[in-house]
Amino acid sequence: MKGERALARIFLVRHGETLWNRNFLYQGQKDIPLSEKGREQAKKLAKALERETFRAVYSSDLKRAYETAFAIASPRDLDVILKKELREINFGNWEGYSFEELQKKYPVEFSMWLNDPGEIRPPEGENLRELTQRVVGFLRKTAKEHKNEDILVVTHAGPIRAVLMSILDLDIKHFWKFKISNASVTVVNLDDSGDVCSDGSFIIKVNETAHLE
């Protein structure tokens, strides 16, 4: 059809569980490995995706993402390509704290961030707009490199939300409305225009977790 664009189908996988996930601590870019449960989740992911034909596997360079990606890529004899652009949002000095602890320790700063996370940064961290720019920028480039191919991207909840927000062209205030579980699968199509908001980019599934049951 005239005007039809090439598509890249991108499987966005959130890493398996860590102990910090279990304890509801902000991880950000702290390099926390998978828990025992997280490693089991990664094995289940690999089984669930075994029939998919991935041309490439990309991963955040943080341990929890790489361990998950390796479990999926290893049986296929595919290398895991590590990318810093796929890291979780940088929570800066707030990493390692729970929501309740941050409310007590940084009441003013944390309240300001909750009210405007798109513009306000945690101390020594980044805001949601900066997260979105780096993640979406990477996927724009990657979609052009993988026209009409399926690829796996193992990352974190924040980056996956950022991609969904961008495709739907939603206001940043809706960022937290997407539930992205550990070891979940989200699938999107991105066309080769480099515009995630184009008519050729769309969402296929979000937060699939049936393989974990």
Give catalytic residues, as residue numbers: 15, 88
Residue 40 DSSP SS3? helix
Q: Rounded to the nearest 10 degrees, what angle do helices 128-145 and 157-168 cross at?
A: 80
Calpha distance 41→53 (Å, rounded): 20
Residue 132 assigned as binding residue: no
Calpha distance 165→196 (Å, rounded): 10
The answer to whether 188 and 203 are in contact (CB under 8 A) is yes
Calpha distance 69→141 (Å, rounded): 20
Residue 85 assigned as binding residue: no
Residue 14 assigned as binding residue: yes
Residue 20 assigned as binding residue: yes
Residue 15 assigned as binding residue: yes
Residue 148 assigned as binding residue: no
Question: Which positions make up the binding site for substrate?
Answer: 14-21, 64
Question: Which positions make up the binding site?
Answer: 14-21, 64
